[in-house]
A and B are shown apart, each in its own frame.
Chain A
Amino acid sequence: MTFNHKENEDKQKKPFSVREWLFGMSFDRKIFWLGLLMALICGAGWFFYPHISSLLGITECRFKQVTGFYCPGCGGTRAVKALLSGHIIKAIIYHPFVPYCLFMWIIYEGSHILEMLHVPKIKGMKFENAYAYFGIYIIFINWILKNFILFLLNHS
Protein backbone atom coordinates (compact mmCIF):
# COMPACT_ATOMS: atom_id res chain seq x y z
CA MET A 1 0.00 0.00 0.00
CA THR A 2 1.52 3.28 -0.97
CA PHE A 3 0.42 6.70 0.05
CA ASN A 4 0.40 9.45 -2.48
CA HIS A 5 1.89 12.32 -0.56
CA LYS A 6 2.00 14.51 -3.60
CA GLU A 7 -1.78 14.36 -4.01
CA ASN A 8 -2.33 15.39 -0.41
CA GLU A 9 0.11 18.26 -0.80
CA ASP A 10 -1.64 19.40 -3.96
CA LYS A 11 -4.97 19.35 -2.18
CA GLN A 12 -3.62 21.45 0.64
CA LYS A 13 -2.10 24.00 -1.73
CA LYS A 14 -5.23 24.39 -3.88
CA PRO A 15 -6.83 27.80 -3.35
CA PHE A 16 -10.46 28.00 -2.36
CA SER A 17 -12.76 28.18 -5.34
CA VAL A 18 -16.33 29.41 -4.95
CA ARG A 19 -17.38 27.57 -8.06
CA GLU A 20 -15.96 24.29 -6.76
CA TRP A 21 -17.52 24.83 -3.37
CA LEU A 22 -20.88 25.62 -4.95
CA PHE A 23 -20.96 22.73 -7.39
CA GLY A 24 -19.08 20.28 -5.23
CA MET A 25 -21.43 20.13 -2.30
CA SER A 26 -24.10 17.50 -1.96
CA PHE A 27 -27.70 18.08 -3.03
CA ASP A 28 -28.89 18.12 0.59
CA ARG A 29 -26.37 20.79 1.48
CA LYS A 30 -27.45 22.88 -1.50
CA ILE A 31 -31.04 22.69 -0.27
CA PHE A 32 -29.78 23.81 3.15
CA TRP A 33 -28.23 26.98 1.71
CA LEU A 34 -31.31 27.56 -0.45
CA GLY A 35 -33.46 27.30 2.68
CA LEU A 36 -31.33 29.94 4.39
CA LEU A 37 -31.63 32.21 1.36
CA MET A 38 -35.42 31.77 1.23
CA ALA A 39 -35.68 32.52 4.95
CA LEU A 40 -33.69 35.71 4.40
CA ILE A 41 -35.94 36.78 1.53
CA CYS A 42 -39.12 35.97 3.48
CA GLY A 43 -37.79 37.80 6.52
CA ALA A 44 -36.96 40.85 4.43
CA GLY A 45 -40.35 40.67 2.74
CA TRP A 46 -42.12 40.47 6.10
CA PHE A 47 -40.08 43.37 7.42
CA PHE A 48 -40.85 45.61 4.46
CA TYR A 49 -44.43 44.35 3.93
CA PRO A 50 -46.21 47.18 5.89
CA HIS A 51 -44.35 49.76 3.82
CA ILE A 52 -44.86 47.96 0.49
CA SER A 53 -48.55 47.24 0.98
CA SER A 54 -49.37 50.91 1.60
CA LEU A 55 -47.54 51.83 -1.62
CA LEU A 56 -49.21 49.12 -3.72
CA GLY A 57 -52.62 49.65 -2.14
CA ILE A 58 -53.05 46.06 -0.99
CA THR A 59 -55.85 45.93 1.53
CA GLU A 60 -57.62 42.69 0.78
CA CYS A 61 -57.18 39.65 -1.43
CA ARG A 62 -57.76 40.90 -4.96
CA PHE A 63 -58.63 37.39 -6.13
CA LYS A 64 -61.50 37.24 -3.63
CA GLN A 65 -62.73 40.70 -4.60
CA VAL A 66 -62.92 39.73 -8.26
CA THR A 67 -63.97 36.08 -8.20
CA GLY A 68 -65.61 35.71 -4.79
CA PHE A 69 -63.37 32.75 -3.91
CA TYR A 70 -60.21 32.45 -1.86
CA CYS A 71 -56.89 32.23 -3.63
CA PRO A 72 -54.49 29.40 -2.64
CA GLY A 73 -52.56 31.80 -0.41
CA CYS A 74 -55.48 33.31 1.48
CA GLY A 75 -54.95 33.21 5.23
CA GLY A 76 -51.17 33.09 4.93
CA THR A 77 -50.58 36.53 6.40
CA ARG A 78 -52.90 35.77 9.32
CA ALA A 79 -51.10 32.45 9.85
CA VAL A 80 -47.72 34.22 10.05
CA LYS A 81 -49.13 36.78 12.52
CA ALA A 82 -50.61 33.96 14.63
CA LEU A 83 -47.29 32.10 14.64
CA LEU A 84 -45.43 35.23 15.69
CA SER A 85 -47.94 35.58 18.55
CA GLY A 86 -47.39 31.96 19.51
CA HIS A 87 -50.80 30.63 18.44
CA ILE A 88 -49.85 27.49 16.56
CA ILE A 89 -53.32 25.95 16.35
CA LYS A 90 -54.74 29.18 14.99
CA ALA A 91 -51.95 29.36 12.44
CA ILE A 92 -52.75 25.81 11.27
CA ILE A 93 -56.42 26.71 10.86
CA TYR A 94 -55.64 29.92 8.97
CA HIS A 95 -53.21 28.27 6.56
CA PRO A 96 -51.54 24.93 7.40
CA PHE A 97 -48.79 25.41 4.80
CA VAL A 98 -47.15 28.17 6.87
CA PRO A 99 -46.57 26.18 10.09
CA TYR A 100 -45.61 23.12 7.97
CA CYS A 101 -42.92 25.16 6.22
CA LEU A 102 -41.68 26.57 9.50
CA PHE A 103 -41.54 23.14 11.14
CA MET A 104 -39.68 21.54 8.20
CA TRP A 105 -37.31 24.49 7.96
CA ILE A 106 -36.38 24.30 11.65
CA ILE A 107 -35.80 20.53 11.51
CA TYR A 108 -33.89 20.54 8.21
CA GLU A 109 -31.71 23.57 8.77
CA GLY A 110 -31.12 22.69 12.40
CA SER A 111 -29.87 19.19 11.56
CA HIS A 112 -27.46 20.52 8.95
CA ILE A 113 -26.17 23.25 11.25
CA LEU A 114 -25.56 20.65 13.96
CA GLU A 115 -23.76 18.45 11.44
CA MET A 116 -21.55 21.33 10.36
CA LEU A 117 -20.74 22.00 14.01
CA HIS A 118 -19.64 18.33 14.26
CA VAL A 119 -22.11 17.48 16.99
CA PRO A 120 -21.64 13.73 17.53
CA LYS A 121 -24.23 11.32 16.14
CA ILE A 122 -26.15 14.07 14.33
CA LYS A 123 -26.38 13.86 10.55
CA GLY A 124 -27.99 16.40 8.26
CA MET A 125 -31.44 15.50 7.10
CA LYS A 126 -31.76 14.13 3.60
CA PHE A 127 -34.11 15.99 1.31
CA GLU A 128 -36.91 13.77 0.09
CA ASN A 129 -39.28 14.67 -2.71
CA ALA A 130 -42.17 13.72 -0.43
CA TYR A 131 -41.57 16.87 1.63
CA ALA A 132 -42.26 19.07 -1.40
CA TYR A 133 -45.21 16.95 -2.60
CA PHE A 134 -46.81 17.03 0.86
CA GLY A 135 -46.52 20.83 0.98
CA ILE A 136 -48.21 21.11 -2.41
CA TYR A 137 -51.01 18.77 -1.32
CA ILE A 138 -51.54 20.93 1.78
CA ILE A 139 -51.91 24.06 -0.37
CA PHE A 140 -54.43 22.49 -2.72
CA ILE A 141 -56.47 20.67 -0.07
CA ASN A 142 -56.64 23.82 2.06
CA TRP A 143 -57.70 25.88 -0.97
CA ILE A 144 -60.46 23.49 -2.03
CA LEU A 145 -61.70 22.91 1.52
CA LYS A 146 -61.88 26.61 2.44
CA ASN A 147 -63.74 27.47 -0.77
CA PHE A 148 -66.14 24.60 -0.21
CA ILE A 149 -66.89 25.81 3.33
CA LEU A 150 -67.27 29.38 2.03
CA PHE A 151 -69.69 28.17 -0.62
CA LEU A 152 -71.74 26.30 1.99
CA LEU A 153 -71.68 29.34 4.28
CA ASN A 154 -73.04 31.67 1.65
CA HIS A 155 -75.49 29.33 0.01
CA SER A 156 -77.07 27.50 2.92
Chain B
Amino acid sequence: MDFNNQNNQPQDQNTSQYQTQGGPQPQPQYQGQYQAPNTNMNQGYTQYTNQYSSSGMNQNFGLQQPHYSSQNNFSGQNMGYQAGYQGNDQFTSPYAQAPAKPGPNACQVISLICGILSLICCCTGIIGVILGLVGTILAIIGNKQNKHGIGTAGLVCSIIGLVLAGVLLILSLVGVSAIPSSINDLYDYMDM
Protein backbone atom coordinates (compact mmCIF):
# COMPACT_ATOMS: atom_id res chain seq x y z
CA MET B 1 0.00 0.00 0.00
CA ASP B 2 1.27 3.37 -0.90
CA PHE B 3 0.65 5.26 2.28
CA ASN B 4 2.71 8.22 1.33
CA ASN B 5 1.34 8.45 -2.18
CA GLN B 6 4.82 8.60 -3.48
CA ASN B 7 3.75 7.91 -6.97
CA ASN B 8 1.46 10.93 -6.96
CA GLN B 9 -1.31 8.90 -8.36
CA PRO B 10 -4.81 10.21 -7.89
CA GLN B 11 -6.64 7.91 -5.63
CA ASP B 12 -10.18 6.82 -5.93
CA GLN B 13 -12.22 8.77 -3.46
CA ASN B 14 -13.92 5.78 -2.11
CA THR B 15 -10.79 3.81 -1.49
CA SER B 16 -11.05 2.08 1.79
CA GLN B 17 -7.37 1.43 2.20
CA TYR B 18 -7.17 3.17 5.49
CA GLN B 19 -10.21 1.98 7.22
CA THR B 20 -9.87 1.19 10.85
CA GLN B 21 -11.19 -1.90 12.37
CA GLY B 22 -14.63 -1.82 13.72
CA GLY B 23 -16.93 1.11 13.85
CA PRO B 24 -18.97 2.60 11.08
CA GLN B 25 -17.24 3.54 7.86
CA PRO B 26 -18.81 6.66 6.52
CA GLN B 27 -18.45 7.62 2.90
CA PRO B 28 -17.89 11.34 2.80
CA GLN B 29 -18.46 13.01 -0.50
CA TYR B 30 -15.68 15.22 -1.76
CA GLN B 31 -16.85 17.76 -4.24
CA GLY B 32 -14.12 20.33 -4.24
CA GLN B 33 -14.80 21.24 -0.65
CA TYR B 34 -14.96 18.81 2.13
CA GLN B 35 -18.22 18.33 3.93
CA ALA B 36 -18.23 16.27 7.05
CA PRO B 37 -20.62 13.34 6.99
CA ASN B 38 -23.50 13.59 9.35
CA THR B 39 -22.31 11.05 11.87
CA ASN B 40 -20.98 11.16 15.37
CA MET B 41 -17.52 10.79 13.98
CA ASN B 42 -17.78 14.22 12.46
CA GLN B 43 -15.66 15.94 14.95
CA GLY B 44 -12.53 14.27 13.83
CA TYR B 45 -12.56 15.86 10.44
CA THR B 46 -11.13 19.13 9.50
CA GLN B 47 -11.45 20.99 6.30
CA TYR B 48 -9.29 19.86 3.48
CA THR B 49 -9.44 20.49 -0.17
CA ASN B 50 -9.69 17.91 -2.84
CA GLN B 51 -6.17 18.35 -4.05
CA TYR B 52 -3.45 15.85 -4.52
CA SER B 53 -0.28 16.30 -2.65
CA SER B 54 2.61 14.04 -2.24
CA SER B 55 3.49 15.37 1.12
CA GLY B 56 0.13 15.20 2.67
CA MET B 57 0.24 11.60 3.61
CA ASN B 58 3.29 11.56 5.80
CA GLN B 59 2.99 11.57 9.53
CA ASN B 60 -0.42 13.11 9.62
CA PHE B 61 -2.16 10.10 8.32
CA GLY B 62 -3.54 9.01 11.65
CA LEU B 63 -5.20 12.40 12.31
CA GLN B 64 -3.84 12.05 15.76
CA GLN B 65 -1.12 14.64 15.51
CA PRO B 66 -1.77 17.68 17.67
CA HIS B 67 -0.46 19.89 14.89
CA TYR B 68 -2.91 18.67 12.35
CA SER B 69 -3.64 21.65 10.22
CA SER B 70 -6.48 22.42 7.93
CA GLN B 71 -3.97 23.72 5.44
CA ASN B 72 -2.63 20.29 4.68
CA ASN B 73 -3.76 19.08 1.33
CA PHE B 74 -4.65 15.49 1.40
CA SER B 75 -5.44 13.40 -1.55
CA GLY B 76 -9.04 12.69 -2.11
CA GLN B 77 -9.05 9.52 -0.15
CA ASN B 78 -11.41 8.12 2.33
CA MET B 79 -9.30 8.77 5.36
CA GLY B 80 -9.48 6.34 8.16
CA TYR B 81 -9.89 7.59 11.64
CA GLN B 82 -10.35 6.21 15.04
CA ALA B 83 -13.36 6.23 17.20
CA GLY B 84 -13.18 8.22 20.39
CA TYR B 85 -11.79 11.19 18.58
CA GLN B 86 -14.57 13.44 19.59
CA GLY B 87 -13.08 15.23 22.53
CA ASN B 88 -10.39 17.20 20.76
CA ASP B 89 -11.57 20.71 19.92
CA GLN B 90 -8.72 21.34 17.50
CA PHE B 91 -10.28 18.97 15.07
CA THR B 92 -13.86 20.14 15.25
CA SER B 93 -14.98 20.61 11.72
CA PRO B 94 -16.47 23.98 10.88
CA TYR B 95 -18.75 22.09 8.59
CA ALA B 96 -20.09 19.72 11.20
CA GLN B 97 -23.80 19.89 10.90
CA ALA B 98 -25.88 20.44 13.99
CA PRO B 99 -29.18 18.61 13.94
CA ALA B 100 -31.54 20.81 11.95
CA LYS B 101 -34.53 22.22 13.79
CA PRO B 102 -37.65 21.27 11.84
CA GLY B 103 -39.63 24.19 10.46
CA PRO B 104 -43.38 24.60 10.85
CA ASN B 105 -45.55 22.43 8.67
CA ALA B 106 -48.27 23.72 6.36
CA CYS B 107 -51.07 23.18 8.90
CA GLN B 108 -49.31 25.31 11.47
CA VAL B 109 -48.63 28.16 9.05
CA ILE B 110 -52.23 28.21 7.80
CA SER B 111 -53.54 28.01 11.36
CA LEU B 112 -51.51 31.11 12.23
CA ILE B 113 -52.91 32.97 9.23
CA CYS B 114 -56.46 31.90 10.12
CA GLY B 115 -55.86 32.89 13.74
CA ILE B 116 -54.70 36.39 12.87
CA LEU B 117 -57.55 36.83 10.39
CA SER B 118 -60.08 35.61 12.96
CA LEU B 119 -58.75 38.21 15.42
CA ILE B 120 -59.08 40.98 12.86
CA CYS B 121 -62.44 39.81 11.55
CA CYS B 122 -64.01 38.86 14.88
CA CYS B 123 -66.30 41.89 14.59
CA THR B 124 -68.01 40.27 11.60
CA GLY B 125 -69.27 37.45 13.81
CA ILE B 126 -69.79 34.36 11.70
CA ILE B 127 -66.64 34.84 9.60
CA GLY B 128 -64.55 35.15 12.74
CA VAL B 129 -66.11 31.96 14.14
CA ILE B 130 -65.40 30.01 10.95
CA LEU B 131 -61.83 31.26 10.72
CA GLY B 132 -61.26 30.58 14.41
CA LEU B 133 -62.61 27.04 14.11
CA VAL B 134 -60.53 26.28 11.03
CA GLY B 135 -57.42 27.75 12.64
CA THR B 136 -57.93 25.78 15.86
CA ILE B 137 -58.46 22.48 14.07
CA LEU B 138 -55.46 23.00 11.80
CA ALA B 139 -53.29 24.02 14.75
CA ILE B 140 -54.24 20.88 16.68
CA ILE B 141 -53.49 18.70 13.66
CA GLY B 142 -50.23 20.50 12.94
CA ASN B 143 -49.04 20.41 16.55
CA LYS B 144 -49.55 16.68 16.71
CA GLN B 145 -47.14 16.19 13.82
CA ASN B 146 -44.54 18.73 14.83
CA LYS B 147 -43.85 20.93 17.84
CA HIS B 148 -43.21 24.50 16.76
CA GLY B 149 -43.82 28.00 18.12
CA ILE B 150 -45.79 28.97 15.03
CA GLY B 151 -48.29 26.20 15.75
CA THR B 152 -48.71 27.37 19.34
CA ALA B 153 -49.16 30.98 18.23
CA GLY B 154 -51.72 29.88 15.64
CA LEU B 155 -53.64 27.91 18.26
CA VAL B 156 -53.68 30.79 20.73
CA CYS B 157 -54.78 33.38 18.15
CA SER B 158 -57.44 31.07 16.72
CA ILE B 159 -58.92 30.32 20.13
CA ILE B 160 -59.00 33.99 21.14
CA GLY B 161 -60.57 34.96 17.81
CA LEU B 162 -63.09 32.15 18.12
CA VAL B 163 -64.05 33.18 21.64
CA LEU B 164 -64.41 36.86 20.74
CA ALA B 165 -66.44 36.14 17.61
CA GLY B 166 -68.55 33.58 19.46
CA VAL B 167 -69.32 35.99 22.30
CA LEU B 168 -70.24 38.66 19.77
CA LEU B 169 -72.52 36.30 17.89
CA ILE B 170 -74.29 35.16 21.03
CA LEU B 171 -74.74 38.69 22.36
CA SER B 172 -76.01 39.86 18.96
CA LEU B 173 -78.55 37.05 18.88
CA VAL B 174 -79.68 37.86 22.38
CA GLY B 175 -80.03 41.48 21.35
CA VAL B 176 -77.59 43.13 23.69
CA SER B 177 -76.39 46.59 22.80
CA ALA B 178 -74.00 48.46 25.04
CA ILE B 179 -73.53 51.72 23.22
CA PRO B 180 -75.33 54.73 24.55
CA SER B 181 -75.25 57.65 22.17
CA SER B 182 -73.11 59.82 24.43
CA ILE B 183 -70.07 57.54 24.46
CA ASN B 184 -66.89 59.05 23.06
CA ASP B 185 -65.06 57.35 20.26
CA LEU B 186 -61.28 57.50 20.25
CA TYR B 187 -61.14 57.46 16.46
CA ASP B 188 -63.30 60.56 16.27
CA TYR B 189 -60.48 62.40 18.01
CA MET B 190 -57.94 60.86 15.66
CA ASP B 191 -59.90 61.94 12.61
CA MET B 192 -59.75 65.58 13.67
Contacts and interface: CB of A to CB of B under 8 A. Distances in A.
Interface residues of A, number: 38
Interface residues of B, number: 38
Given A62-B168, A132-B150, A136-B153, A71 B183 contact: no
Contacts of B161: 72
A55 interface: no
B119 interface: yes
A106 B171 CA distance: 40
A80 to B, nearest CB: 12
Contacts of A110: none
Interface in A90-106: 90, 93-94, 97
B178 A132 contact: no
Contact of A75 (B13, B104, B179, B187): B187
A1 B183 contact: no
A154 B120 CA distance: 24
A65 B179 contact: yes
A123 interface: no
14 contacts: A1-B10, A1-B50, A34-B113, A38-B113, A62-B124, A63-B164, A63-B168, A67-B171, A68-B183, A70-B186, A71-B164, A73-B121, A76-B120, A132-B153
Interface of B: 10, 13, 50, 76, 103-104, 109, 112-113, 116, 119-125, 149-150, 153, 157, 161, 164, 167-168, 171-172, 176-179, 183-187, 190-191
